A and B are shown apart, each in its own frame.
Chain A
């Protein structure tokens, strides 16, 4: 059974600080996804990481993937209040059945 673990599950930080969210998964997969969810809203796709060593950046967010370690990170640089949300990583099952298995999410609060 594919398992996806995120940590931390809750994070409160101040504006201007840097921090990293970690995502570990239990089986081999070359595709990892990061989503953002605001309260009461649906999921917004942030990054799709398709290969070992992939790194993608958008604004203050940067995601990377190490398939050998089965680890992805989402790094936040100089956090701003607008980044407050819940962040999910997800991995697909592969082999054509690519429904996603999600982590429990990281609830991020950025305080002024």
Chain B
């Protein structure tokens, strides 16, 4: 069974630029999550999708972050404009119902 796929794996941008990350969950997993992991900390949930609907986006900084999952499969997370404090690893995870979450390899973002 293929795992959660993410791209790119690394991204370096300057502050105030825009960036987008892509995630393809495990086939058949209806629930998709985006987490932000700052160096030395545990992951923090940004947004949860159930199919193509948002279940929880209470911790998403909506003035600069946006996410979509238009067809209920792939998802994109966008930051516009980026700030220095957005430097982190962005992890995508998926699950089948209320079960174990499987994490992708992550995208490491550096904002200069």
Contacts and interface: CB of A to CB of B under 8 A. Distances in A.
Nearest to B106: A42
B72 interface: no
A96 interface: yes
Contacts, number: 56
Contact of B55 (A44, A88, A96): A96
- Range of interface residues on chain B? 20 to 34
Secondary structure at the A interface, as helix, strand, loop or mixed, is strand
Contacts of B93: 43
Contact of B48 (A4, A88, A98, A105): A98
Interface string A101-112: 111110000000
A21 B99 CA distance: 23
Interface of A: 4, 31, 33, 35, 41-45, 48, 88, 90, 92-93, 96-105
Interface of B: 31, 33, 35, 41-45, 48, 50, 55-56, 91, 93, 95, 98-106
Contact of A104 (B41, B48, B102, B104): B41
